[in-house]
Amino acid sequence: MIQRPRGTRDFGPAEMHKRRKAEQAMRDVCHRFGFGEVVTPTFEHSELFKLRSGPQVVEEMYVFRDKGDRELALRPEITASVIRYFVNDLSTAPRPLKFYYVGNCFRYENPQSGRYREFFQLGAELIGNKNPETDAEVIALAVNCIRAAGLENFVVRIGHIGILKSLVQSEVKDDAVVSDILRMLDKEDFDALGDMFDAKTLPRKLFDRITAIAEIKGEIDLLNNLEQSEVTDYVREIFSVLKIFGLEDCQLDLGIVRGLDYYTGMVFEIDAPNLGAEKQILGGGSYTLSELFGGEPVFSTGFAIGIDRVMLALEKERTPEPHQPLDAFVVPAKDDMRKYVLGIVARLRSQGLRVDVDLMRRTLSKSLKYASSANAKYAIIVGKEEMAKRSVTLRDMKSGEQEVVLADEVGSKIKGRVG
Ligand code: HAM
């Protein structure tokens, strides 16, 4: 038997129903915020991601050569593609550009619950400006998406990479070492960071300062522990705009560094605490990438939601509602009514109802058993007598109650009841 590749999944209809519902709710929010959908290729020239994603993402990339000997990569994320699209085709379009996307991404990671080699993101990018309102707008969109998906327990943490980055850069001139330091701060691996400082004889004072800042997490007032600067004023302003948007309980977290290397300003993450190790359901922030792809530098702010993790968190939060794929299952009582019932099925479907019919030529009782296992709300039974009177027997599958209804009226009757 051929198995699916490690770290990938198959999704059945019940799971897809839930995923699409959550996804649609999030898409609706994106539209309400004025974001339009874009789709970019699933594979790109590998260079696109190598330029600024950072060593971790590059290491995990699925890279291959095509028959024309081009080095391509399955996208590990979608931000770089959206900015490439912007530089290629949209650099003169009126700004800001507000885009959202839904798609699969690929990273060669160690698979576990919530961590896959193929996973799905819904993300958004606002291209064209950098100011606290822009950043707050993107954070508000993210939070509203998560809420619309139905999640109640989540924590929004907001920081600014400029604080740690500028401190480190003021004393460390090698960009690769700066990146390594920031990555260890992101992982809160302070022991390894200390060892690295010792090995490279970097100033201990810097270590103490950056680890202290990375541990500033909680109320916005904790910013008072830092010297006032342009960055602290900027972060305060983001929180004040978020308040106007009705988002009062966001936390300050100056330890957020993010796994991708392209961020330059505000950074934010959302966790679903009930997920344990893989609790980060969203990551984002402001960055510039366009200049690396041949365009002028343009500020953008964006995020990506890990749809798989949102679905896992939703499952932990509430008892799943029964999947109701069918409004009605139509059953001919005898073989010679099979064609007649197909006409009824076609009419009900054209009225917008979700209707299925016995295609296995089962007996009446077996068909009813199937209708029940398919979780149909109603069974519509057509016998000889019903056919003669142009009627049907409508059976409520839950209560077992039955009534005879005119065939022409059964559609509106069901519609009135299923809403
Ligand atoms: P990221 O933090 O790498 O950011 O990914 C965003 C989200 O995708 C994560 O928070 C997580 O929920 C989900 N995710 C990442 N890797 C996996 C995996 N292996 N399995 C399951 N879920 C995963 C980005 O991708 C940036 N492009 C976000 C962004 C957009 N920044 C600015 N604009």
Interval 273-303: pLDDT, tens = 999 989 999 999 999 999 999 999 999 999 9
Query: Which residues partner with 7 through β-bridges?
Result: none
CB–CB of 158/250 below 8 Å? yes
Provide the pLDDT for residue 129. 87
Average pLDDT of the segment spanning 258-269:
90
Closest CA to 115 of 271, 308, 258, 256: 308
Q: Give CA–CA dist 134/96, Å, rounded.
A: 9
Q: Provide the 10 A C-beta neighbour count for residue 229.
A: 13
CB–CB of 226/213 below 8 Å? yes
Torsion of CA 129, 245, 256, 311, to 10 degrees: -110
Provide the pLDDT for residue 52. 80
- H or E element that contains 383: none
Average pLDDT of the segment spanning 223-244:
95
Assess whether the C-beta atom of 260 lies below 6 angstroms from ligand 1.
yes
Q: Which residue's C-alpha comes closest to atom 16 of ligand 1?
A: 115
Tell me how many degrees the CA angle 142-146-152 measures, rounded to the nearest 5: 135
Q: Identify which of 122, 260, 266, 298 to mutate to test ligand 1's pocket (most ligand atoms within 8 A of the CB).
A: 260
User: Chain-wide mean pLDDT for the chain?
Assistant: 95
**Amino acid identity for residue 206 in this structure:** L
Q: Identify which of 62, 83, 99, 105 to mutate to test ligand 1's pocket (most ligand atoms within 8 A of the CB).
A: 105
Q: List, edge to edge, every strand of the sheet that includes 155-160.
A: 36-37, 97-106, 118-127, 300-306, 280-287, 263-271, 155-160, 251-253, 217-218
Provide the pLDDT for residue 419. 65
- pTM equals 0.93
How does pLDDT run across 98-119, given as a tens digit for each residue?
A: 999 999 999 999 999 999 999 9
Structure tokens at 222: 């904790």
Q: Give CA–CA dist 33/297, Å, rounded.
A: 25
Peptide bond into 96 cis (omega under 30): yes
- Choice among 121-130, 257-266, 398-407 with the minimum mean pLDDT: 257-266
Provide the pLDDT for residue 172. 94
Assess whether the C-beta atom of 332 lies below 6 angstroms from ligand 1.
no
| pLDDT reading at 418 higher than 80 | no
Which class for 159: exposed (0-12), middle (13-18), buried (19 or more C-beta within 10 A)? buried
